[in-house]
A and B are shown apart, each in its own frame.
Chain A
């Protein structure tokens, strides 16, 4: 089998080989995102019943929780790519790490934003300095730090290496976010969904949340691939194969 050979994977990790893969998968990922969010929104607003304590404001959960999961998950994936780039010096993994950062920052911001708008009617405050909220704000600053460090260093290899180290140091924040609701007495509630227990919510609510999570997941890959595609075009604009692709587009 060709896919079990090292040469196959090394070949895939070159920008030239990855470009057509990204190019072909982007429309499918976008179509999946649209479909999953439409069904997800239908569950979130039509099928899921009103909450007896919080009324309709709880429906913010269907985007708040997936956005927060994405913010954390993208950080871990970004770190993994950055480490691969650090160890094997593969161009594409550094590109993927860089391409994921803005989307991770976006979801982190959206989790904070929707959390604030959920906090006001539920807790009476948009913001409190509770351990969960504060560690999540630090996650946003880690993304900003990663992006600005990359942008500040001209030599792309040094930029990748320095930002990879920063990302790696920052990863200690991820378990802190996750366990903050257990370790400290926080206003933020504990997890409703954990790996070792059945979800403590109605099944239609659970379905809505999972559909929105999948939608954000396919969205993340769609925009990350779009960003890598742009990055490849920019870096390889003088190569023959890029000129061929651009020529055939017209």
Chain B
């Protein structure tokens, strides 16, 4: 099986890649959002700690 044939998925490309693509996208997005959230949390905690120390 060559690459264009593989990507075509026997003319089911839209359904197969539409499924796998959306699953991968949402799973990645969840991880990225959680990492960004942690970054902003640690930054604000560090800022507060500095302020408290004066």
Cross-interface CB contact of B34 among A230, A242, A247, A250, cutoff 8 Å: A230
How far, in whole Å, are A106 and B33 apart by their CA atoms in the complex? 14
Cross-interface CB contact of B30 among A120, A223, A233, cutoff 8 Å: A223
A60 close to B38 (CB less than 8 A): no
How far, in whole Å, are A117 and B34 apart by their CA atoms in the complex? 28
Tell which of A57, A67, A219 has the most Cβ of chain B within 10 Å: A57
* A110 interface residue per 8 A CB criterion: yes
Which residues from B are CB-within-8-Å of A246? Answer: 42, 45-46, 49
B34 close to A114 (CB less than 8 A): no
The 0/1 profile, CB within 8 Å of A marked 1, for residues 2-38 of chain B is 0000100111101110111011001100110011011
A227 close to B34 (CB less than 8 A): yes
Known: A110-B22, A117-B15, A243-B49. 9 other contacts (CB 8 A): A30-B31, A56-B9, A103-B30, A106-B27, A118-B15, A120-B15, A230-B37, A246-B45, A246-B46
Instruction: Return 15 A-B CB contacts under 8 Å, by A number.
Output: A55-B9, A56-B9, A57-B12, A57-B16, A59-B9, A59-B16, A60-B20, A63-B19, A63-B23, A114-B23, A226-B35, A230-B41, A233-B45, A246-B42, A247-B46
Interface residues of A (CB under 8 A from B): 30, 45, 50, 55-57, 59-60, 63-64, 67, 102-103, 106, 109-110, 113-114, 117-118, 120-121, 219, 222-223, 226-227, 229-230, 233-234, 237, 242-243, 246-247, 249-250
